[in-house]
Chains A and B, each alone.
Chain A
Amino acid sequence: MELFFNPFDNLVCILLGISLTVWFTLLLVFIIVPAIFGVSFGIRRLYMKTLLKLFEWATLRIERGAKENNHHLHKPYSNAIIAKEPTSFEEEIKEIRRSGSNKDLDSASEFEMSDIFYFTRRGVASIMDDEVTKRFSAEELESWNLLTRSNNNFHYISLRLTVLWGLGLVIRYSFLLPLRVTLAFTGVGLLVFLTCVIGLLPNGRLKNFLSEKVHLMCYRICVRALTAIITYHDSENKPKKGGICVANHTSPIDVIILASDGCYAMVGQIHGGLMGVIQRSMVKACPHIWFERSEVKDRHLVAKRLSDHLEVKTKLPILIFPEGTCINNTSVMMFKKGSFEIGGTVYPVAIKYDPRFGDAFWNSSKFGMVSYLLRMMSSWAIVCSVWYLPPMSREEDEDAVQFANRVKAAIARQGGLVDLLWDGGLKRGKVKETFKEEQQKLYSKMLVGTQEDRSRS
Chain B
Amino acid sequence: MGAFQSSPGQPEYVDLKEKTGFSISQIRVLHTRFKLLGHNGETLKRDHFNSIPDLACNPIRSQIIEAFFDRRNFRQNGEGPVDEIHFEEFLMVMSHFKAPSPRMIEERESVRREKLRFIFNMHDTDDDGTITLEEYRHVIDELLSLTEDLGKDTAKDIADAAMREVASTSMAHMEPDEFFEGITFEHFLKLLKGFEIELKMNVHFSIMDTPTFCK
Contacts and interface: CB of A to CB of B under 8 A. Distances in A.
Contact of A120 (B30, B57, B122, B161): B122
A291 interface: no
A130 B2 contact: no
A163 interface: no
Contact of A70 (B58, B68, B142, B213): B213
B55 A128 contact: no
B200 interface: yes
Given A116-B122, A443-B143, A447-B158, A436 B30 contact: no
Interface in A89-125: 96, 99-102, 110-117, 119-125
Contacts of A83: 204-206
25 contacts: A71-B213, A72-B10, A72-B213, A83-B204, A99-B200, A100-B196, A111-B161, A113-B191, A116-B60, A116-B122, A117-B197, A119-B58, A120-B63, A120-B122, A120-B201, A121-B203, A123-B64, A148-B4, A152-B5, A152-B7, A154-B7, A156-B4, A430-B51, A441-B145, A441-B149
Interface of B: 1-2, 4-5, 7, 10, 24-25, 28-30, 33, 36-37, 39, 49-61, 63-64, 68, 94, 97, 119, 122-123, 139-140, 142-147, 149-150, 154-155, 158-159, 161-162, 166, 191-192, 194-197, 199-207, 211-215
Contact of B52 (A121, A126, A149): A126
Contacts of A121: 97, 200-203
A126 B58 contact: yes
A119 B5 contact: no
Contact of A81 (B29, B155, B162): B29
B211 to A, nearest CB: 7
A444 B145 CA distance: 6
A450 to B, nearest CB: 11
Contact of A123 (B30, B58, B205, B213): B58
B161 A435 contact: no
A73 interface: yes
Interface stretch (A132-140, A292-300, A335-343): A132-140
Given A82-B205, A128-B30, A443 B145 contact: yes
A155 interface: yes
Contacts of B1: 148
Given A83-B204, A120-B201, A130-B55, A113 B166 contact: yes
Contacts of A53: none
A40 interface: no
A438 B57 contact: yes
A75 interface: yes
Assign chain A's interface to a size class.
Answer: 35 or more
A72 B94 contact: no
Given A99-B196, A441-B149, A74 B28 contact: yes
A430 B57 CA distance: 12
Contacts of B30: 128
Interface string A269-303: 00000000000000000000000000000000000
Interface in A395-449: 422, 426, 430-431, 435-441, 443-445, 447-448
B56 to A, nearest CB: 4
A120 B212 contact: no
A111 B119 CA distance: 16
A67 interface: yes
A133 B60 contact: no
A117 B215 contact: no
A212 interface: no
B57 A435 contact: yes
B163 to A, nearest CB: 10
Contact of A113 (B37, B192, B196): B192
Contacts of B207: 77, 79, 81
Contacts of B58: 119, 122-123, 126, 436, 439
Interface in A140-162: 148-149, 151-156
Nearest to A428: B51
Nearest to A84: B206
Contact of A116 (B139, B206, B213): B139
